[in-house]
Amino acid sequence: MIEHLLDLTVSAFLLAGLYATMAYGLGLIYGVLRVVNLNHGGMIMAGAYAAWWAHDQFGLDPYLSIPIILVLAFLVGVLTYAGLVRRLPRGAAGGVQSLLLLFGVWLILRNAAYLVFSGNDQTVLTSYSTKALPFLGAQISVNRLAVFGVALVTLGALHLFLTRTYVGKAIRAVAQNPESCTLAGVPVQRIYMLTFGLGTALASLAGALATGLYAFNPGFGATELLKSFVVVVLGGLGSVAGTAVAALILALVENFSILVIPSYLTSAVGFVLLVLVLVLRPGGLFGQRVLG
């Protein structure tokens, strides 16, 4: 029993890395642009297929294709912003128009994937897919460990970028008061574009990482988007630490719920958590800070 609990705890920590990566992109875009990127799910799915395709066609290891996927997804995000989101009428960027627009983009991506890859489940099998390492009596899959490592490095780098670099500070300033940024000479539109690119790249990274853990089809990303919402609402906007803690809470609650409810209900646990947070602490666990 003790071993089982330890197993669940370790696996929750590892899973939290993926959840945090997934949610951070959504929170970043919302925090800076006040736009809910409903295409987040679409880009998670696209990231998974990109990693799978590179492996399937060229035998490229999914972890090695990540840099290319990040660059491509960043460009997709930049184009989505410059070509679509930016063209919304003034004041509509944060409204229902942007929800519809980005939901539309997601539908197009998803149906394109059905067309090209069919609706069959895909998996990425590598030589180490089934390898595990012993840890305090528990067995940890190499893939889970690698996913966690990549997530940790990514979030650490993001934190340093946002707090130490000039552009990173400008991104936080735009989130807090865009007009003051314009007055100081910060090109706010360029910051929006950059942020949208970053958030999109993070979504695709989460997708690529997920191929090590799950089978997926073109519908992949919907549950992940909803889990991202849970983490963002729980952890607040843009704080790396808040996101990490919230991701850990979600993963722990999900993992431990299998002790008391059937496993097919675990995905629902996140939404119960979401409702509870919205009712009890609507500002999130850490208050209303935006990219503080």
Partner 1 sequence: MTALLEVRGVDAGYGDVQVLFGVSLQVREGEIVTLLGSNGAGKTTTLRCICGLISPRKGEVLFHGESLAAVAPDHRAGLGIALVPEGRELWPQLTVRENLELGAYHRRARRSLSKNLDRVQALFPRLLERKSQLAGSLSGGEQQMCAIARALMSDPKLLLLDEPSLGLAPIVVDQMFEAVRQLHREGMTLLLVEQNLVAALEIATRGYVVETGRVRLEGEAAALRSDPGIRAAYLGI
- Name the residues that contact partner 1, by CB under 8 A: 166, 169-170, 172-173, 176-177, 179-188, 289-292
Burial (CB count <10 Å: 0-12, 13-18, 19+), residue 183: exposed
Which residue in this structure is represented by tokens 């719920």? 257
Q: Which is nearer to partner 1, 123 or 288 (by Cβ)?
A: 288
Toward partner 1, which CB reaches closer, 170 or 240?
Answer: 170
Q: What is the DSSP string of 16-37?
A: HHHHHHHHHHHHHHHHHH----
Nearer to partner 1, 219 or 292 (CB): 292
Complex with partner 1: residue 119 or 187, whichever CB lies closer: 187
Nearer to partner 1, 130 or 180 (CB): 180
| Structural tokens at position 178 | 């865009």
Closest CA to 62 of 199, 206, 198: 206
Q: How far is the CB of 181 from partner 1 (least distance, A)?
A: 8
Task: Count CB-CB contacts under 10 A for residue 285.
Answer: 14
C-alpha to C-alpha distances, 84 to 47, 80, 88, 172, nearest whole angstrom: 21, 5, 7, 23
Taking the alpha carbons at both ends of the chain, their separation in whole angstroms is 41
**Minimum CB–partner distance for residue 174 and partner 1 (Å):** 9
Residue 80: CB minimum distance to partner 1, A: 22
The DSSP code for 204 is H
Structure tokens at 230: 């849970």
Helices 188-210 + 166-176 axis angle, to 10: 100
Nearer to partner 1, 166 or 264 (CB): 166
